[in-house]
Chains A and B, each alone.
Chain A
Amino acid sequence: DTAVSQTPKYLVTQMGNDKSIKCEQNLGHDTMYWYKQDSKKFLKIMFSYNNKELIINETVPNRFSPKSPDKAHLNLHINSLELGDSAVYFCATSAADTQYFGPGTRLTVL
């Protein structure tokens, strides 16, 4: 069983569209995250949820909105996509000090 899964793995879309990325974990962890990894491989935290409550919200445009329907899911919705949103987005969970990452979603905005 995959511990942290994301769908889709690849997402190609036009500028201005709205898209969502889904994340599910079966580890039973309380905390989930969204990270963005840009073309230079920098991995930056975007959001963190603990028990469905937003606890970390980095300087991310309002076009990005995370939603946690339950402890096992954290979805990322992006409105009005821009070219600069092209990146790989990783979902992660944590237990104690360790983070467990999903396989990533490569978003390409044309």
Chain B
Amino acid sequence: SQKIEQNSEALNIQEGKTATLTCNYTNYSPAYLQWYRQDPGRGPVFLLLIRENEKEKRKERLKVTFDTTLKQSLFHITASQPADSATYLCALDRGSGNTGKLIFGQGTTLQVKP
């Protein structure tokens, strides 16, 4: 069956360290994978998209990798700050292209301690 999984346990790290979140999927061949941030009581906010032919993508302190052989994406936040504390969701298109039919992981909650 098709699955997309994130580490459901909260990730606690010290300010200034690099946070690494994992997203694994099975039985999909997504054209791209996305990462969203969700704060309590709010809707998800788009952060980054990485396509199947891209190994890595960066945006400021954020970095995403995409390994289609391992069927895994890693999401890194460097020089983490308490303001980065939130739940991070990965999502991929269930179709083979941009069908808009996103399937989301359950999210990993990141807590950055000062």
Give me the interface of A with B, judged by CB distance under 8 Å: 4, 31, 33, 40-45, 48, 55-56, 90, 92, 94, 96-104
Question: B69-109 toward A: CB 8 Å interface, digit per residue (1/0)?
Answer: 00000000000000000010100010000111111101100
Residues of B within 8 A of A42 (CB): 104, 106
Judge whether B34 is part of the interface by a CB distance below 8 angstroms: yes
Taking a contact as CB atoms under 8 Å apart, the answer to whether A48 and B100 are in contact is yes
Taking a contact as CB atoms under 8 Å apart, the answer to whether A104 and B43 are in contact is yes
Given known A-B contacts A33-B100, A97-B49, A40 and B43 have beta carbons under 8 A apart: no
Give me the interface of B with A, judged by CB distance under 8 Å: 32, 34, 41-46, 49, 87, 89, 93, 98-104, 106-107
Instruction: Name A's interface SS.
Output: strand
**Shortest beta-carbon distance from B102 to chain A in Å:** 6
**CA A43 to CA B90, docked complex, whole Å:** 11
Which residue of chain A has its CB nearest to the CB of B45?
Answer: A101
A-B contact count (CB 8 A): 50
Residues of B within 8 A of A101 (CB): 43-45
Residues of B within 8 A of A44 (CB): 104
**Shortest beta-carbon distance from B44 to chain A in Å:** 5
**Shortest beta-carbon distance from A84 to chain B in Å:** 18
**Shortest beta-carbon distance from A86 to chain B in Å:** 16
Q: What 5 A-B pairs are tightest by C-beta distance, nearest first?
A: A101-B43, A43-B104, A98-B46, A101-B44, A90-B43
Given known A-B contacts A41-B87, A43-B44, A43-B89, A98 and B49 have beta carbons under 8 A apart: yes
Residues of A within 8 A of B49 (CB): 97-98
**CA A97 to CA B51, docked complex, whole Å:** 10
Given known A-B contacts A40-B106, A97-B34, A97-B49, A45 and B101 have beta carbons under 8 A apart: yes
**CA A90 to CA B42, docked complex, whole Å:** 9
Taking a contact as CB atoms under 8 Å apart, the answer to whether B46 and A100 are in contact is yes
